[in-house]
């Protein structure tokens, strides 16, 4: 048995006719930059996220970058974020010349702990970038209260969380729609992936949407007249067509990811692993967790991971080195133990296969092997 962390070919077998047709339409039109597919994709994704405007961009990383550029955040400015995320979150802050300021995470959800944000705010703070890690939104309500109090821009990094929902009691409660900007990635491993790189920024603010559109084409408005320095951050029509063709399936894929998570939870709960303190399961504390990843905490994590690899089971560690300890951020002068919860998570977290097409037999096999590892 070989079980990959993600098997995109199983998904492609299922949607091939729709996706191939969408690609052929673009080929027939020979319209590769901008055009109706990009516009439709922006509209549909924004609508799905219950947000007013969508601006297609070249990647999730560029979505973050262009949002910071639109706010003219740069040298001398500070942006608060989490050290426990994919590099791009803090990378974007550094790339505009601003300073990332890290705040530790909540021990249950791995998401930025909003109760610690206040202490990180200075008169240089311009923005907060919360990350909805693994597919679950963080506690947006206290974060938004702080952002209002200090007049800070909120740029949601929702790359792993398209379709996630916070709490229905709020008027806006979908991932990406609650802050000033919501950033998505269509990287193939995300829940809504394209066939290459792609991303989107969503916003409820018309002026911000217009500025983003100008910035993604070198700041030109009209063509060849540049009031701003932007870049080439466009989403191309082929990728937009693929996203559009896949979007109608997203909810069913999310459902299957959730079902897989429940199946794991049941299998683990009926074993002795939790009682014996060997593994801890992910917790759902918001309305809708979309399980881009199913991450457990495991004793002897690295040995378990090697053992599973020998049994043909792929796993991944998100993330082995928190960002405050990365070499490229040494100039920020953080030290080990500055963010103990993140550092602890880096040592024990383990992502198991959770993709929608994972079978019963595969999930059972994975949990059996984990049980076998701890029996030795
Ligand atoms: C994937 C990801 C990104 C970057 O998206 P790309 O499309 O790969 O550039 C940013 N932030 C988080 C949290 C991600 O998981």
Q: Would you say 58 and 200 are in contact if contact means Cβ atoms under 8 Å apart?
A: no
In whole numbers, what is the pLDDT of the chain averaged over residues? 97
Residue 326, pLDDT > 80, answer yes
Sole residue written with tokens 């996220």: 49
Element spanning 126, H or E: strand 125-129
In sign, the C-alpha dihedral spanning 341, 6, 176, 101 is positive
Best residue among 160, 242, 323 to mutate for probing ligand 1's pocket (most ligand atoms within 8 Å of CB) is: 160
What is the whole-number distance in angstroms between the Cα of residue 172 and the centre of ligand 1?
Answer: 23
Best residue among 81, 85, 89, 188 to mutate for probing ligand 1's pocket (most ligand atoms within 8 Å of CB) is: 89
Give pLDDT tens digits for 2-35: 999 999 999 999 999 999 999 999 999 999 999 9
Of 148, 158, 136, 168, nearest to 354 by C-alpha is: 136
Best residue among 90, 138, 185 to mutate for probing ligand 1's pocket (most ligand atoms within 8 Å of CB) is: 185
What is the whole-number distance in angstroms between the Cα of residue 60 and the centre of ligand 1?
Answer: 5
- pLDDT confidence bin for 194, thresholds 50/70/90: very high
d(CA 277, CA 4): 26
Ligand 1 first shell, C-beta below 6 A = 59-61, 85-86, 88-89, 131, 157, 159-160, 185, 187, 197, 199
Of 193, 175, 181, 187, nearest to 247 by C-alpha is: 193
Overall size of the chain counted in residues? 376
Across 133-149, average pLDDT: 97
Q: Which atom of ligand 1 is nearest to the CA of 132?
A: 13
What is the whole-number distance in angstroms between the Cα of residue 368 and the centre of ligand 1?
Answer: 32
Residue nearest to atom 5 of ligand 1 (CA): 60
d(CA 362, CA 130): 34
Across 211-229, average pLDDT: 95
Q: Which atom of ligand 1 is nearest to the CA of 64?
A: 10
Residue nearest to atom 6 of ligand 1 (CA): 60
Backbone φ and ψ of 120, nearest 5°:
-90, -5
Who's near 174: CB < 8 A, 6+ residues apart?
49, 50, 51, 163, 164, 165, 166
d(CA 82, CA 117): 10
Q: Which atom of ligand 1 is nearest to the CA of 292?
A: 15
Phi-psi region of 72 (alpha: psi -120 to 50; beta: other; left: phi over 0): left
Q: Which atom of ligand 1 is nearest to the CA of 89?
A: 11
Confidence at residue 108, expressed as pLDDT on a 0 to 100 scale: 96
- pLDDT confidence bin for 376, thresholds 50/70/90: low
What is the whole-number distance in angstroms between the Cα of residue 347 and the centre of ligand 1?
Answer: 21
Element spanning 362, H or E: helix 360-375
- What 3-state class would DSSP assign to 55? strand
d(CA 132, CA 110): 9
What is the whole-number distance in angstroms between the Cα of residue 171 and the centre of ligand 1?
Answer: 27
Q: Would you say 93 and 99 are in contact if contact means Cβ atoms under 8 Å apart?
A: yes
What is the number of other CB atoms lying within 10 angstroms of the CB of residue 98? Answer: 21
What is the whole-number distance in angstroms between the Cα of residue 159 and the centre of ligand 1?
Answer: 5
Across 162-187, average pLDDT: 97
What is the whole-number distance in angstroms between the Cα of residue 233 and the centre of ligand 1?
Answer: 15
Give pLDDT tens digits for 237-296: 999 999 999 999 999 999 999 999 999 999 999 999 999 999 999 999 999 999 999 999
Confidence at residue 366, expressed as pLDDT on a 0 to 100 scale: 98
Best residue among 86, 109, 162, 201 to mutate for probing ligand 1's pocket (most ligand atoms within 8 Å of CB) is: 86
Residue nearest to atom 2 of ligand 1 (CA): 159
User: CB-hemisphere CA count at 13 Å for 13?
Assistant: 6
What is the whole-number distance in angstroms between the Cα of residue 272 and the centre of ligand 1?
Answer: 36
Of 73, 74, 121, 71, nearest to 101 by C-alpha is: 121
Of 106, 115, 116, nearest to 137 by C-alpha is: 106
What is the whole-number distance in angstroms between the Cα of residue 114 and the centre of ligand 1?
Answer: 21
Give pLDDT tens digits for 329-355: 999 999 999 999 999 999 999 999 999
Give pLDDT tens digits for 39-65: 999 999 999 999 999 999 999 999 999
Who's near 72: CB < 8 A, 6+ residues apart?
none
Confidence at residue 105, expressed as pLDDT on a 0 to 100 scale: 98
Q: Which atom of ligand 1 is nearest to the CA of 160?
A: 15
d(CA 374, CA 376): 5
Sole residue written with tokens 């701003």: 228
What is the whole-number distance in angstroms between the Cα of residue 5 and the centre of ligand 1?
Answer: 17
Who's near 13: CB < 8 A, 6+ residues apart?
none
- pLDDT confidence bin for 166, thresholds 50/70/90: very high
Q: Which atom of ligand 1 is nearest to the CA of 186?
A: 7
């Amino acid at each position: 048995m070989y079980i990959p962390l993600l098997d995109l070919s199983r998904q492609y077998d299922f949607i091939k006719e729709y996706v191939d047709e969408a690609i052929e339409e673009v080929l027939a039109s020979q319209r590769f930059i901008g055009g109706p597919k990009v516009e439709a994709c922006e509209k549909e994704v924004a609508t799905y996220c219950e947000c007013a405007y969508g601006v297609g961009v070249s990647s999730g990383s560029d979505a973050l970058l262009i949002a910071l550029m639109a706010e003219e955040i740069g040298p001398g400015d500070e942006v608060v974020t989490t050290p426990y995320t994919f590099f791009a979150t803090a990378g974007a802050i550094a790339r505009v010349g601003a300073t990332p300021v890290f705040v530790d995470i909540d021990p249950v959800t791995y998401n930025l702990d909003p109760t610690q944000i206040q202490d990180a705010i200075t008169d240089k703070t311009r923005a907060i970038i919360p990350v909805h890690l693994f597919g679950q939104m963080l506690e947006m309500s206290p974060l938004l209260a702080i952002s209002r109090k200090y007049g800070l821009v909120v740029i949601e990094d929702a790359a792993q969380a398209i379709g996630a929902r916070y709490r229905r009691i709020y008027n806006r409660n979908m991932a990406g729609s609650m802050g000033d900007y919501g950033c998505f990635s269509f990287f193939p491993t995300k829940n809504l992936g394209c066939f290459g790189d792609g991303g989107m920024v969503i916003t409820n603010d018309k002026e911000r949407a217009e500025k983003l559109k100008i910035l993604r084409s070198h700041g030109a408005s009209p063509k060849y007249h540049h009031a701003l320095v932007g870049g080439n951050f466009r989403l191309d029509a082929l990728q937009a067509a693929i996203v559009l063709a896949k979007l109608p399936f997203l909810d069913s894929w999310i459902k299957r990811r959730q079902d897989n998570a429940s199946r794991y939870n049941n299998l683990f709960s009926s074993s002795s692993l939790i009682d014996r303190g060997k593994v801890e399961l992910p917790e759902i504390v918001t309305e809708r967790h979309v399980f881009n990843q199913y991450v457990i905490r495991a004793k002897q994590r690295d040995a378990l991971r090697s053992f599973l690899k020998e049994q043909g089971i792929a796993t991944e560690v998100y993330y082995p080195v928190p960002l405050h300890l990365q070499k490229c951020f040494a100039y920020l002068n953080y030290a080990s133990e500055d963010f103990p919860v993140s550092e602890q998570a880096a040592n024990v977290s383990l992502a198991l296969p959770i993709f929608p097409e994972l079978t019963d037999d595969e999930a059972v096999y994975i949990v059996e092997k984990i049980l076998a590892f701890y029996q030795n």
